[in-house]
Structure 1
Amino acid sequence: MPIELRRRRALRLAWGTALGLAASFGLGLPVPILAPVFAVLLLAMRSQPLPLRAAPALALLVLLSCGSGLLLIPLLRHAPASGVLLVGLGLFLCFRYALRGGNGLLANLLVVGLTMIVAAGASDFELALSVVEAMAKGMLLATLSAAVAHALFPEPANAAALPAAPLPSAEDVGWIALRATLIVMPAFLLALIAPDRFMPLIMKSVSLGQQAGETRARHASRELIGSTLLAGVLAILLWGALSVFVHLWMFFLWVLLFALWQARRLYAAVATRQSPAFWVSCLSTMLILLGQSVQDSAGGQDVYRAFAVRMALFLAVSLYASGMLRWIDSRRSRPSEA
């Protein structure tokens, strides 16, 4: 791939992410960090632009896929054990569908619907409806931001498409889907207790579950922890830079700069040993940490204490995910060694 094309794609990803963030916070959406996170997924997963008419279609897809989680709320309230097992089965099937070459965006939305929506609705059905509405608005805004980014940095007509991630073998799919499910489930169970506190943890665990698709468990476990640590460092640096002059446009510019630094490594415009999944997870985690810190500040909370607690939880779930990867891998290799 020519270096100019890599730089163009990096600029597109950075601008789309920053535009989604500025528009989301400027419009005062209920969960403003969803739009830039969705923009990262849309721009990183495909190099061709989506038509503008796809924006309402994607928002409708969010409503249908995430709204499906609303159907599990009565079961979870009246038969909690059966509801939790059914959520776990649904997560396993979603991850397995994606690993077999299915639509990654649809799988991600279904996973979110089975975790965030169900967890929110277990305590308050109105909260679940508001989360579904926030996700639909976030996807609509992310699609528009991606369209603007493609207009600013169009893909050349003769450019090669992004290489598809290699699919695991048929015998590995079940194990990888199982370990991804086991990574997400603890965060989901914690969110059932206090959804307002642990919703960001669900978003992080879903990102880790997707990142755990690497067949080599040892390499994947290092990337899980490394991407979380680097995201925390970058979030601290960006917050410190933003505190010098607090303004929405400065927030836009700093996110643009930090996103561009990571996007250049994601598309190999700058040589790096880390996989693209590492940089997508790092950028998404940085955005989640920043978005929550901004909301904590607007709500009058102690930003630094809340950040320390949230970062500790993110690291804890990353360490748990790393341990789960190694444990599942050791269990899988036993029969072949016997």
Structure 2
Amino acid sequence: MPTERSPRVQRALRLATGTALCLAASFGLALPIPFLAPVLALVLLASVNRPLPLKAGLVLALAALLTTGVGLLLIPVLRYYPVNGVLLVGVCLFLLFGYGLRGGNNLIVTFLVIGLTMIPAAGVADFDLAATIIGALVKGLLLVVLIVAVSHWLFPDPPNAPSPPFAPPLPPEETGRVALRATLIVLPTFLLVLVDPASYLPIILKAVSLGQQSSTTARHAGRELVGSTLLGGVLAVLFWCALSLFVHLWMFFLWMLLFGLVLARKLYALSPSRFSPGFWLNTFITLIILLGQSVQDSAAGKDVYTAFAIRMGLFLLVTLYACLMVRLLDRRATRPAHGLT
């Protein structure tokens, strides 16, 4: 029996433990939008396999500053010049997704996209709601940095563990098309949030997750996007039923740890699967968002099951729309090639 775990085992344990710790701490501290921090922790732990150095922490702090600043500056533009404001948001989303596809930091892109959409959409309706989102981003970022450090201390990579290979960047001629696809996925959701920010804010997180799945092709769009959304919904229902047996913060942590370990085994290919890592990451993100909103609905005295059904229906609509965009743009990209043969 080897005395040291393999790097993939350590990373799976780190991902599940860090996400569960961040979820429990976020709800235990009653942070605003408590499911935002575990989503950011999940993305960070899945994309970075080393502890955050001081320079990376400063970059994240700068990203949070840019996120809040750009979001606040867009509020008066959207309020008094709505058409120009929406077009400006669309152009910024296109540039951000293009930056990420050319090898930029996906976590920075996620921060900026959330700030570019959630903060101005909330601020148009209620500035206090925008301030709540800013507080959630800042406090969530501080919590994520702390939890990530603890997770790497608990489950460090073995010495001289090879780093996972970086995904090859898309060809330059593909970058514009995929960035446009991601923009067209997120922008309609942004318009929906402008109508009712308080009800539809979580959908932006789902749309951002779908938009960043750059490797999805038209042939696998239904399986990758719709399948992961449905699986995330089913796991959220199972999680809720299990949590209902004994409602306690520690049980919340333990159940999330268990579900996280199952998904992390799939994500890091410790358990054979025919689905891509993006499928399992999107499933995990969907589970956290749906479950977090249901817990908040229960604490507020709302009808949890009706709210979950409505939210799940909206998630599926957004996902089906994302599949449509993938198919339309991929078909348009391949049409000239067919014409030459």
TM-score interval w.r.t. the shorter chain? over 0.9
Structure 1 position 143, deviation (Å) = 1.3
Amino acid at match of 1:311: M
Deviations 1:65-105 (A, max 9, x none): 23311111111111111100110111000000000111212
Report the Cα offset of residue 310 of structure 1. 0.4
Asked whether the equivalents of residues 24 and 250 of structure 2 are also in contact (C-alpha less than 8 Å), the reply is yes
Residue in 2 aligned with 1:71?
A: 73
TM-score, normalization: structure 2?
0.95
* Aligned match of 2:266: 265
Question: Mean alpha-carbon deviation: is it higher for 58-67 or for 265-274?
Answer: 58-67
CA contact (8 A) 1:176 1:215 kept: no
Verify: 1:181 aligned to 2:188, yes or no.
no
> What's the CA shift for 1:204?
0.4
Instruction: Compare 288-297 and 323-332 and name the one that shifted more.
Output: 323-332
1:307 aligns with 2:303: no
Range with greater deviation from structure 2 (298-307 or 46-55): 46-55
User: Who is 1:7 aligned against?
Assistant: 9
Q: Give the match for residue 195 of structure 1.
A: 197
The number of equivalent residue pairs is 336
Secondary structure of 2:212's aligned partner: helix
Residue 256 of structure 2: aligned partner: 255
The equivalent residue for 1:141 is: 143
2-structure distance, mates of 1:192, 1:105:
24
Equivalences for 1:278-293 in 2 at 5 Å? 278-293=279-294
Q: Could you tell me which amino acid in structure 1 is paired with residue 139 of structure 2?
A: K
Could you tell me how far apart the structure 1 residues matched to 2:157 and 2:260 are?
Answer: 19
User: Which digits, 9 at most, give the CA deviation of each residue in 1:152-186, with x for residues without a partner?
Assistant: 11112211112212211111111100111101111
Identity level (%):
60
Write out per-residue CA displacement over residues 182-210 of structure 1, whole angstroms, 9 at most, x where no aligned residue.
01111100000000011011110011001
**CA displacement at 1:55 relative to structure 2:** 4.9
- Contact 1:95–1:181 at 8 Å: present in 2 too? yes
Contact 1:99–1:167 under 8 Å retained in 2:
yes
RMSD between superposed Cα atoms in Å:
1.6
- Show the counterpart of 1:103: 105
Q: Measure, in 1, the Cα distance between the counterparts of 2:222 and 2:84.
A: 31
Post-superposition shift, 1:52? 6.8
Give the corresponding residue for 1:81.
Answer: 83
Cα deviation, 1:281-307, whole Å, max 9, x if unaligned, reads 111110000100000000000001100
Residue by residue over 1:300-319, the C-alpha shift from the partner in whole angstroms, topping out at 9 and shown as x without a partner, is: 00001100100010011111
In the alignment, structure 1 segments of 5+ residues that lack a partner are: none
Letter in 1 for 2:116: L
After TM superposition, the score normalised by the length of structure 1 is 0.96
Whole-angstrom CA distance in 2 between matches of 1:55 and 1:301: 38
Residues 72 and 118, structure 1, Cα contact 8 Å, conserved in 2: yes
Q: 1:335 Cα deviation (Å)?
A: 2.5
1:44 is matched with which residue?
Answer: 46
Which residue type is aligned with residue 298 of structure 1?
Answer: A
Unaligned stretches of 5+ residues in structure 2: none
User: CA distance change for structure 1 residues 59 and 27 in 2, over 3 Å: closer, same or farther?
Assistant: farther
Partners in 2 of 1:87 and 1:188 — Cα distance? 9
Moved more, 305-314 or 98-107: 98-107
Tell me: CA distance 1:271–1:105, structure 2 relative to 1, closer, same or farther (3 Å). Answer: same
CA contact (8 A) 2:71 2:120 kept: yes
The answer to whether the aligner puts 1:224 opposite 2:225 as a matched pair is yes
**CA distance in structure 1 between the partners assigned to 2:59 and 2:320 by the alignment:** 37
- Distance of 2:331 and 2:54 partners within structure 1: 47
